[in-house]
Homo-oligomer: A and B are copies of this chain.
């Protein structure tokens, strides 16, 4: 369906579209070592919770390739070090740790294999994560599309689309499937400061896939809702606590409060891998603080005076009470979420 490939394994390298260059340039990077992969994740060349998980898993394979000529001890040490490096790139999205954990489990079952065989198993697991993600996003979209009225004016934030996953996306998968079902869908995309993922990525992706889209400043969403222009809000998630509190791109909590005020349903779309039962409530989720330069400069030009402080959290936490439903590949979860999340995860085993 998608006209672009977010991330793929091509000729023993990771090919990814450099999202910092969009929408001006569709530039693909071929990454062949783990340090470049860690840099690509840190600097948001690849971003979005599920895509980060895939990138990290494939990054482990690159590390294995780099050490494949070494003796077993050094090979394993280098692969495990690579996992540490990749695990330190971004703290909030749980899919990163979930994917690395799956790769780690491959190493636990190596028995008497040689490095080359271990590398094959790592690659199989990483490709399985990638392919699973594609199926999950498609299934999630099919469940979520039932929630979309016809016609629908849908507000979204950041990019929870094909660019944030292997394909289709999470929040945008719902929109794509509703549109495929013939529903008349109009999307309003928050530009999403400071890095403009909505302006640059969501609008580009939706337009590329022939979905009607309008970009607005994040602060204008309230006025749009007040005017009665929005039927529902759908966003993705970087991590969901056991009680259904949702960590997602900063501004998500703002939308959830505004949706409540205007009696607009607020939906979260995320794969089951975004749930983190080790975290009881959202307050325990680490929130990444990013560099002041993201807010204070633009295209190299200063927009905030040099010695002025900047507050730049990359994420916020939306309490479960503001979430109408969580759309997963296993079905639609309703409150009370501590029950529905537990049930779905048990079914998942």
Contact = CB atoms under 8 A, between A and B. Distances in A.
A316 B194 contact: no
Given A207-B307, A250-B223, A307-B207, A23 B302 contact: yes
A10 interface: no
A48 interface: no
Looking at chain A, what size class is its interface with the partner chain? 35 or more
Contact of A190 (B219, B260, B296, B307): B219
A74 interface: no
B313 A213 contact: no
A207 B303 contact: no
Task: Give how many copies assemble into the complex.
Answer: 2
Contacts of A192: 219
A309 B186 CA distance: 11
Given A191-B193, A309-B215, A258 B254 contact: yes
B214 A311 contact: yes
A261 B223 CA distance: 17
Interface in A204-222: 204, 207, 213-222
A220 B308 contact: no
Nearest to A301: B299
A183 to B, nearest CB: 19
A2 interface: no
Nearest to A221: B254
A304 B214 CA distance: 10
A218 B215 contact: no
Contact of A295 (B207, B216, B310, B317): B216
Contacts of A218: 193, 217-219
A257 interface: yes
Nearest to A218: B219
B295 A217 contact: yes
Interface string A137-167: 0000000000000000000010000000000
Contacts of A191: 193, 295, 303-304
A257 B261 contact: yes
A251 B214 contact: no
A168 interface: no
Closest 7 interchain pairs by CB? A219-B251, A222-B254, A223-B316, A218-B219, A193-B217, A214-B309, A216-B311
